Amino acid sequence: AQKITQTQPGMFVQEKEAVTLDCTYDTSDPSYGLFWYKQPSSGEMIFLIYQGSYDQQNATEGRYSLNFQKARKSANLVISASQLGDSAMYFCAMREGRNTGNQFYFGTGTSLTVIP
Amino acid sequence: GAVVSQHPSRVICKSGTSVKIECRSLDFQATTMFWYRQFPKKSLMLMATSNEGSKATYEQGVEKDKFLINHASLTLSTLTVTSAHPEDSSFYICSARAHYNEQFFGPGTRLTVL
């Protein structure tokens, strides 16, 4: 089974609007971390936000927030007030276990295009 | 934050030649480095886990004789694509694990084999 599933290959959003990128995950480990990365056309992976499995509150980082629904095993990324520079690929990733050195499992990504 | 570099950022080579890609942790020591491969508009796929001073652990389906990994020091891991062919053309990304356990990604290397 896929560890990380992103069902939206492409998304469009109007500038200044909010957009939600979906991510569901599959693990039997009670301890895990969920990540979102942005990958512009240059290729570098830019860390956006992190949610730990034991975190009580949803993570927020500036315009990024993570809608963590543990029972549904979903970790959707919400980008508020979209900007043209937000156009990029977005990857959801999971790391299982308590060891933060463990490998990442990545989803297939969502291509976001912000329309002026 | 911690910085990981990759060299070269882009490389074009002829079929049959070998190409070495370096992954360096610039301001921390990395006991573990990971090598990923990414095809256009696809996800990152883990190729191997590289531990300093020991043999790399390869994921299923990755040819260890084709993709040679050397992690000779705490700040450098190298991936050598031997006898490269056009199907090896891809984007290769490394990540490095700091001693305090967080991981950081390199900027990637785009390999084109003609």
- The string of pLDDT tens digits covering residues B76-101 is 999 999 999 999 999 999 999 876 66
Which of B44, B93, B104 is most worth mutating to test chain A (most A CB atoms within 10 A of its CB)? B44
Cβ contacts of A31 on chain B, cutoff 8 Å? none
What DSSP assignment string belongs to B24-66?
Answer: EESSS-EEEEEEEEE-TTS-EEEEEEEETTSPPEEPTT--TTT
Per-residue model confidence as pLDDT tens digits over A51-89: 999 998 999 999 999 999 999 999 999 999 999 999 999
Cβ atoms within 10 Å of B8's Cβ, excluding its own:
13
Q: Distance between CA A93 and CA B74 in Å, rounded?
A: 26
Cβ atoms within 10 Å of A77's Cβ, excluding its own:
28
Check CB contact under 8 Å for B103 and A99. Answer: no
Q: Distance between CA A87 and CA A39 in Å, rounded?
A: 9
Residues of B with CB under 8 A from a CB of A: 31-32, 34, 41-46, 49, 91, 93, 95, 97, 101-103, 105, 107-108, 110
Residue B22 sits at the vertex; the CA angle it makes with B19 and B23, to the nearest 5 degrees, is 145
Q: Are A106 and A49 in contact (CB under 8 A)?
A: no
Rounded mean pLDDT of chain B?
A: 91
Instruction: Give the residue on B whose Cα is nearest the Cα of A35.
Output: B103
CA-based torsion, B5, B14, B73, B66: positive or negative? positive
Instruction: Supply A84's token pair.
Output: 């043209």
Q: What is the dihedral of CA A84, A85, A86, A90, to 10 degrees?
A: 140
Q: What is the pLDDT of residue B69?
A: 94
Check CB contact under 8 Å for B32 and A104. Answer: no
Select from B32, B43, B107 the Cβ nearest to the Cβ of A106: B43
